[in-house]
Structure 1
Amino acid sequence: MDKKQTLYSILDLALVSKDHSLKQTYNNALELARQAEIFGYTRYWLAEHHNSANIGSSATSVLIGYVAQGTNTLRIGSGGIMLPNHSPLIVAEQFGTLGSLYPNRIDLGLGRAPGTDRETAQAIRLDFMEAAHSFPNELEKIQTYFSTDNATSKVRATVAEGVEVPVYILGSSTDSAHLAAKKGLPYAFASHFATTHLWDALAIYRKEFKPSSVLQKPYVIAGVNIIIANTDEEAQRLSTSLIRMIVGIFTGKRDFVQPAIDMTDELKEVMQNPQVHQMLKYSFIGSKATVKAQVKEFMNQTQADELIAVTNIYDIKDRIQSYKLFAEIMKELN
C-alpha cells in the first residue's frame, strides 16, 4: 500500500515588520508566494484581521488577487474570510470574480471569528453576533450563490455561478468541526495557536463526517508554527520576534514585528508561562534535523492530510529560507 502523501502549504498574515512600509510588506508576501511555488507548496492562504498595526491582510480578497496575479500555479486563498464580517452575496461575488480571473487556483476558507476586537467587529457590522450565530446559514447562502441552480432566483451572484472555488471550513474550537463534518467539507484547524481543542475537533470531524458532492472522505489541514534555520541556536534567535509578538498580544501592546535578538533568560521564562507554552505547543523551532523529528511526530499523531505552516520571522530572507527548509523536510518525509 502506498504511503499517504501529506501536502504542505503556507498561512500568511502579511505581518508588518518594524521599519517596513505596507508596500514592502505586500511585495514580500508576493515574493514569498513566488518562492513557495518553486518549493512545491500546494497553497498560500492569507488571513483576515482588522485594527492591528502589525497585520497587513485586512482587505483579504484584494491581496489574494495581487498574489494570484504574480504567481502561476500555486493555489491562493483565504485562511480565512471571517464570514460574520461580510454579506455572503459580496463574498460570493468577490471570490467568483477571483475564480474567473485565476481558474482552478482560488480557495475560499471561511471562519466565524471576527479576527479583531469587539469594538472593531461592531464597526465592521452592527449585527456581528447575530451573523456569527447564523454561520451555518450564511455558509449555505454562499454555496447557493456559487451553484448554477441559483440562476432562476431573484437574488443572484451572477459572477459566481458555476465558478470552481472550493470552500474550506476553518476552526479553532469544536463548533466548526460539527459543521464541516455535516456539510462534507474540508476542515482546517488553527492548531498553530488554538492547541487545546485540536484532538477533540479532529475526532468529531472524522466521526461525524458525511460524504458530499465535493468530498468523499474527511480532509484535515492542521496549522503549525515553523521556524527553521541552519542551527538550533539561530532558529531560537529568530523565534524571539514571535515570542515578543505573543507578549504583545497578552499585554494588549501589539506592535510591529521586532527584529530578532539573542535569546534572553527573560524570553525563555515567557516561553514557560503556562498560557504561552500551551499556545505555542505546536511550534517547531530549530535546525532542519530538529524540526523534521517534531513534524514527523505531529504528522503521525494527527494523520493530517495537509500541514499549513505559519512562519512569523522579522526578515523576509530568513522567512523564505525557513519555508525552503520546511519544504525539504516535507519532501523527505513524503
Structure 2
Amino acid sequence: MKDKKIPYSILELATVGAGFKPKEVFDNSLELAQKAEEFGYNRFWLAEHHNMLSIASSATTVLMGHIAGGTKKIRVGSGGIMLPNHSSLLIAEQFGTLASLYPNRIDLGLGRAPGTDQVTANAIRPDRMQAVYRFPEEMHNIQQYFSKENQHAKVRVPIAEGVDVPIYILGSSTDSAHLAAKEGLPYVFASHFAPSQLLEALNIYYNNFQPSKYLNEPYTMAGINVVAAETDEEADTISTSMLRLMLGVMTGKIDYMQPPVKMTAELKQISVDPAFQRMLKYAFVGSKATVKKKTEEFIKQTGVNEIIAVSHIYDQQDRINSFRLFSEVMQEL
C-alpha cells in the first residue's frame, strides 16, 4: 500500500430506473455530484452510451455542463467521449467552452468503442470504422487545437487555445494501453465491466510508458462496481437491481433498471456464473467492512493511482448512502 491517500471518483451512467423520467434521472445525477463533492470525491465523470433504455448519459458534454454548473470544485469529465462518433474540432470547441466556464475542473476522457450496438454506431457515423483507425490522429488534432501554437493555423478553435483540459485514454482491452504509454498520457481501464485484461493492460502501460509534456510518470485509474450498505444482507438486496440489469445486457433483453427484490437462490446462482463473473469480477457488494476488504485487495493487486466507482442502484438515497460509505472506506485505506 502506498502511504499517500488514493483519490476516488465516480463514473455516472445516469441509469434509468423503471418509472423514472429523464429529468428525474438528471436531477439525481446532480444531487449525487453535490454529495460526492461533500464526501471528498475527486472527479465526477459522465459516460457516453446510445440507444439504451437503461442509460440516459448519451449527450455527454451537455450533462457535464449540468453537473459542473451545479457543483463548486469537483472535477467533471467524460468517461468518456467515444471519439470515432465525433469530430475532433467540435469536441475541442465543446471542451474549450466547458473549461472556459469552469476553469481547472474539466477532464477529457477519450475512448474508441462505439458505446452502442453496431447498427446504431453506423447511424451515428457511417464512416465510423475509418475514424476508429484514425483515433490517434484525431486525438493529436484535439491536442493541437488546445495548444497556443495553433493560433497561426488555418483551422483554429480559439476558445480552446491555451486552455488546460487534461486528456485521459480509456480502454477495455490492451490496445489503448499501448497508445496511452506511447503518448505519455494517463490511462483509465474499464474493469467495472471488462475485467479480464486489466492486469495485462496495466503491465503494458507501466512497462512501455514514455514521459511527455503532459505526464512525467504513469498514472492509472480503474473502474469498480460498488454497492455498499449497513449490512451484507442489505447490500445483497440492493444489488439485485444491478444483477437483473446486467443479465438483461448479457441476454440482449435490455430494460429499465428494476427495483430491488430479496436475493433469491436463483439470483445468487446467476451472480457466481462464470459468464457473469467475467463481466462483474470487480463488483464489491456488502457492508462497509466487506467493501473495504475487497477494495484494499484490488488496490494491492493493481497498484492503480485512483479508483473510479460505478453503481447501478435503484433508490437515490440507497445510492447516496453507498457512495458515502465508499468515501469512508477510501479515507480509511
Question: Same fold per TM (> 0.5)?
Answer: yes
How far apart in 1 are the matches of 2:297 and 2:199? 15
The match for 2:259 is 259
Q: How many Å separate the matches in 2 of 1:282 and 1:66?
A: 29
Verify the 8 A CA contact 1:211 1:217 in the aligned structure 2.
Answer: yes
One-letter identity of the residue aligned with 2:326: F
Partner of 1:33: 33
2:293 partner amino acid: A
1:153 matched residue in structure 2: 153
TM (norm. structure 2) is: 0.99
Query: Cα offset for 1:200?
Result: 0.6
Residue of structure 2 in register with 1:202 after alignment: 202
Q: Which residue of 1 aligns with 2:59?
A: 59
Letter in 2 for 1:21: K
Aligned residue identity for 1:165: V
Distance 2:208 2:289 in 1: 37
Unaligned runs of 5+ in 1: none
Contact residue 5 and residue 305 of structure 1 kept, 8 A = no
Query: What's the offset of the Cα at 1:267?
Result: 0.8
Secondary structure of the 1:143 match is helix
Residue identity matched to 1:183: E
AA matched with 1:195: P
2:184 & 2:118 partners in 1: Cα distance? 31
| Partner AA of 2:43 in structure 1 | R
1:203-246 deviation per Cα after TM superposition (whole angstroms, max 9, x unaligned): 00000000111110000001000000000000000110001001
- Report how far residue 178 of structure 1 moved: 0.4
SS in 1 for 2:160: coil
Instruction: Give the whole-Å Cα distance in 1 for the aligned partners of 2:173 and 2:104.
Output: 29
Aligned residue pairs: how many?
333
User: SS in structure 1 opposite 2:201?
Assistant: helix
Q: Secondary structure at the match of 2:332?
A: helix
Q: Which residue does 1:184 correspond to in 2? A: 184
CA contact (8 A) 2:5 2:331 kept: no
Aligned counterparts of 2:329 and 2:44: Cα–Cα separation in 1: 18
Q: Could you tell me whether the CA contact under 8 Å between 1:48 and 1:81 is conserved in 2? A: yes
Q: Distance in 2 between matches of 1:294 and 1:252?
A: 30
For residues 124 and 144 of structure 1, what CA distance do their matches in structure 2 show? 25
Task: Kindly state the Cα deviation for residue 9 of structure 1 after the two structures are TM-superposed.
Answer: 0.1
Q: Which amino acid aligns with 1:304?
A: V
1:218 aligns with 2:213: no
Supply the distance in 2 between the matched residues of 1:5 and 1:326 (Cα, whole angstroms): 14
For residues 2 and 289 of structure 1, the distance between their equivalents in structure 2, rounded to whole angstroms, comes to 20
2:44 counterpart of 1:48: no
Counterparts of 1:174 and 1:2 in 2: how far apart (Å)? 25
Q: Percent identity?
A: 59
Q: Which residue of 2 aligns with 1:329?
A: 329
Deviates more, 1:157-166 or 1:80-89: 157-166
Shift of 1:2: 7.3
Deviations 1:109-138 (A, max 9, x none): 000000001011011101011101111111
Query: How far off is 1:272 after superposition?
Result: 2.2
Task: Work out the CA distance in 2 between the residues paired with 1:152 and 1:53.
Answer: 45
> Structure 1: which 4+ aligned runs deviate by more than 3 Å?
none
1:1-334 matches, cutoff 5 A: 3-333=3-333
- In structure 2, give the amino acid aligned to 1:150: N
d(CA) in 1 for partners of 2:236 and 2:2?
36
Distance in 1, matches of 2:316 and 2:133, equals 38
Secondary structure of 1:159's partner? helix
